[in-house]
Amino acid sequence: MVPETESKLRIDSLSPEDMYTLNSMPHVELKREVHGGYALNDIVLELSHFLDQDTIKNVELTCLEDSLRKEWELSHDFKLVDSVNKEAILLSQELEEKAWLHSGKFNDKDVKYIKDIISIKRANKDHFEDELLDLDLKSLDNFLNEIEN
């Protein structure tokens, strides 16, 4: 995967189309007269921190299209189709979110365990402590009801 020799490409060796593509990214403004001497590898590495996976996938797809176009002498309008069923992806993400939310809810066993922890060495001490314990348990029940809804 790693090339045998390092790349000597610099920003000023890019074609005008490539410069336009790089400058079309948000918050990127490269100028040949200012950044021309920078190594292209360094710029690409720095810009990769700002790109999401979809953008990277689109760039890779475009590079593959260009390569196939040149290698097989295909027409200039040749495009690889990258179709994704966005509805299925959104549905899957929604189901994952619901499953995650559901897994975070306390069941009756969890609630009993928490109440047992709160009640350690507090029950049947005196009337005042019993009242405070009841108040704490009611407060816990209210809290659990609020976060459940």
pLDDT tens for residues 35-44?
889 888 888 7
pLDDT digits (tens, 9 = 90+) for 96-116: 999 988 888 888 899 999 999
CB atoms within 10 A of CB 11: 20
Residue 82 domain flag: no
Domain assignment present for residue 42? The answer is: yes
Same domain assignment for residues 59 and 105: no
Range of the domain at 31: 11-71
Q: In this structure, is residue 63 part of a structural domain?
A: yes
Residue 52 lies in a domain: yes
Q: Return the bridge partners of 10, or none.
A: 39
Domain boundary among 71, 91, 121: 71
Q: Do the beta carbons of residue 43 and residue 35 sit within 8 Å?
A: yes
The CA distance from 91 to 84, in Å, is: 13
* pTM: predicted TM-score of the whole model, two decimal places: 0.35
Let me know whether 19 and 63 are in one domain. yes
Residue ranges with strand state E in the chain:
none
Closest CA to 85 of 93, 77, 76: 93
Tell me if 129 sits within 8 A of 122, measured CB to CB. Answer: yes
